[in-house]
Amino acid sequence: MLYAKVLRSKYPSARILNINLDEAEKIVGVKAIITAKDIPNNEFGVIIPDQQVLAKERTYFIGDGIAVVAAETPELAKKAVESIKVEYEEIPGIFDPLESKNALPIHEDKDNNQVIHHKLRKGNVEEGFKRSDVILEREYKTQFVEHAYMEPEVVIAVPYENNSVVTIYGSIQNPFACRNAVASVLKIGFNQVRIVQNHIGGSFGGKDEVISSMSARAAVLALKTNRPVKLKNTREESVIESYKRHPYNMRYKVGATKEGKLLAMEIEAIADSGAYACQTPFVTWRSVVQATGPYEIPNVKTDTYGYYTNNVYTGAMRGYGSPQVIFANESLMDELAQELGMNPLELRLKNIFHDNSETASGQKLDNHKVSLEEVIKKAADSINFLEKYKEYSKEQKADKRKGIGMAISYRGCSLGAEAVDAAGVILSIQKDGTLYFYSGLAENGQGLKTAFSQIVAEELGIDIEKINFMVVDTLISPDSGSTVASRATLVGGNATLDAAKKLKKKLTDFLIEKYNSSHKELIFKDNSIYTPDQEKLMSFDEAASSAYNSGVFLSSYGWYKAPKISWDEETGQGRPYFTYVYGCQIAEVEVDIGTGEIKVLKMVAAHDVGRSINPANVLGQFYGGISMGLGYGIMEELDINEGYINNTNFDEYLVPTVKDMPDITPIIVENPDPNGPYGAKSIGEPTLELGAAAIANAVAQATGKRIRSLPINLEKIVVGHSLKKGRKKK
């Protein structure tokens, strides 16, 4: 095996005048060096193919690769990279998406810097504002955030293995997306690229396009040298090259009656796409659907945009366009409640969705239980929200002051109108009664293997230990798209249930015929098969062996396609998702206004999951999501200055540790959904999207100062209080 190393750009925006490989090629042990001219097709992208595998004529961000070396050892590869000489001509960069709107195009083949514009129009906002007694206009801002998975990205490309042109192993979140990208780059068929997902050390949406780029580079080198090639990022390389959560600039205007009834909302949200389009078109689409929050508002005008800059590019991260707008709209609700002189719980209950409510996109919520009021009341009761809100609203004179805040959300389940939403599995019973299982969706640490295996075990009445869950292999597993959007249990679980039911029917039909039985159904339980009157026919193992020896085919494809949805690009009206989940989180904080230190004391999270397939896994999603929401709210921020990233490791990029975690009260709410397997829906992303907003509202109550940008850090609190004191003295 050879080891690869990437030479990355020296400048975030520059023209490449010359690349000199002479010294590097002379180093003994260097087997190949590739640049953009060696890439058959140098641009790829899931939505807009504008991402360079290696920079060809110019660099667009600091993480752009210039050349890749394959050598006998990592040390030799590093030495060779350092020997490559590149001549650049710097080009003035654009680093603010607000400036990018009116600037010359960063990508010269495009007319402007706009990646996407999504619109939503409902009612007449001008009339709504005219009828409003109170109108608030606010601006909110969020930051770049790093995924911070423990394992950096790594792939190994093996040429001509198992009749494929190239096989790639790695920490790959979305094997089929990776396959598609590599096939496109190499200009070969999908059936000639084999992706095998290894156990993955965290992703949270992050190991997608960056892994596709690395896989393509490794594949080109493997084919050039006819040897396996390993490409692994260091932590610093990972932070520099990998995409981030989108920063948003948001302007909100809301109108309401003096009684607190919402009448109109107008929103503009501008996302920084960075150097490439990546997932920006889909991320901002989810934002436009959910930007108004889970509130009945008759008049809405929403515009979401993405603009190119020369910053690190942005893509999928847990929450996918919802944490940003939830921070804004839930902060806005608290500000409106204060303006109206009512508590934030009262304002929310006046306006939230109920059964048969109509969303901003005109969708009637008539096919599932709308449980917003239930999750709000369960969360509020568990922490005594009203009593504490009243107590903390009194004047606090000590330096350490407490506050409590809430945030609520509704979230569309699965992909929605972003893409085709279907998934498949292969389930096979062996003649000894054991099973193997291939899923087209990937286990990325969320517990998919456990949930799917439980569904099979439940349906066939067998022990879960009988099931061998295989890794995703794109030459065997059914193409199920990407493992994103909290869709695995919902869509993949339905495909799993479909496969299990098909095999159950095959065994049932075989046994009924074998015993000449008058029964139409049999009972599968306790590793055995029974008649409806509880007569045991035989063990599951015996049934499998007997069926096999009788020529019964005991393998099955399971497939599930999500219910029909709709979306009008011009008006933003339709049914963008076939079902939704609902959540409420409440944060209790203590803030030292002298030092600015924020301590999150307690978090309550109530989420409707439809049906909890595995409660322990669901609780894991609660704790992990709350941790990430806390980091997003008060400490995490990628420090970017004119395109350069200053905090490239965890000594300076801060993530929550065990010492930062509050007491957590998780509340699993179950209202089985007719479209879910056993009624299950989504939970992976909803637990993350609410934390920052709830903490922001709690900090505002504790300090009396509203901070409208994330993260809510020490400097903003201390400076804010110093300014406030100064005004009082004057």
Q: What is the pLDDT of residues 449-503, one digit of tens each?
A: 999 999 999 999 999 999 999 999 999 999 998 888 788 899 999 999 999 999 9
pLDDT at 703: 95
User: Quick one: pLDDT band at residue 341, thresholds 50, 70, 90?
Assistant: very high
Residue 724 has pLDDT above 90, yes or no: no
Is the distance from CB of 311 to CB of 144 less than 8 angstroms? yes
pLDDT on residue 485: 79
Mean pLDDT of 406-429: 93
CA distance 372 to 677: 22
DSSP state of 101: T
pLDDT tier at 422, thresholds 50, 70, 90:
very high
> What's the mean pLDDT in 286-300?
98
Architecture of domain 2-91+153-232: Alpha-Beta Complex (3.90)
Average pLDDT across the chain, whole number: 96
Residue 729 has pLDDT above 60, yes or no: no
Q: Are 406 and 606 in contact (CB under 8 A)?
A: no
Rounded CA gap, 311 and 61, in Å? 6
Q: pLDDT band for 719, please (50, 70, 90 cuts).
A: low
663-669 and 598-608 strand pairing: parallel
Residue 728 has pLDDT above 70, yes or no: no
| Domain 248-352+370-416+576-719 top-level CATH class | alpha beta
Average pLDDT score over residue span 28-41: 98
pLDDT at 419: 75
Query: Quick check: 630 pLDDT over 70?
Result: yes
pLDDT at residue 587 greater than cutoff 50: yes
Res 163: pLDDT: 85
- The mean pLDDT value for 502-512 works out to 97
Mean pLDDT along residues 573-598: 96
725 has a pLDDT exceeding 60: no
Q: Does domain 422-515+527-544 have CATH number 3.30.365.10?
A: yes
pLDDT (0 to 100) of residue 162: 85
Confidence tier at 721 by pLDDT (50, 70, 90): low
Count of alpha carbons within 13 angstroms of residue 462, beta-carbon side: 25
Measured CA to CA, the distance from residue 451 to residue 682 in angstroms comes to: 12
Band (pLDDT 50/70/90 cuts) for residue 717 is confident
Strands 299-308 and 262-274: parallel
- 347: Cβ–Cβ under 8 A, 6 or more apart, which residues? 260, 333, 336, 337, 340
- Residue 623 corresponds to which amino acid? Y
For β-strands 193-197 and 166-170, DSSP reports them as parallel
Could you give the CA distance from residue 288 to residue 119 in angstroms, rounded to a whole number?
A: 7
Whether omega for the bond prior to residue 711 falls within 30 degrees of 0, making it cis, is yes
Whether 103 shows a pLDDT value over 70: the answer reads yes
Are the folds of 2-91+153-232 and 248-352+370-416+576-719 the same? no
Summarize the confidence of residues 592-612 as an average pLDDT. Answer: 96
CA–CA dist 669, 684 (Å, integer): 15
DSSP code for 188? -
| Burial (CB count <10 Å: 0-12, 13-18, 19+), residue 728 | exposed
Domain ranges of the chain: 2-91+153-232, 248-352+370-416+576-719, 422-515+527-544
- 718 confidence band (pLDDT: 50, 70, 90): confident
The pLDDT value recorded for residue 730 is 28
* CA gap 695, 713 in Å, rounded: 12
Distances (CA, A) of 9 to 64, 67, 81, 502: 6, 9, 12, 54
**What per-residue confidence (pLDDT) applies to 723?**
47
Enumerate the H helices of 353-447 as residue ranges.
372-383, 385-392
H or E element: which one contains 423? strand 422-429
- State residue 722's pLDDT score: 54
- Residue pair 598/401 in contact by the 8 Å Cβ criterion: no
- Compute the Cα dihedral for 109, 113, 118, 119 and give only its sign: negative
pTM over 0.75: yes
Q: Which residue blocks in 32-135 are alpha helix, DSSP H?
A: 74-83, 97-100, 125-130
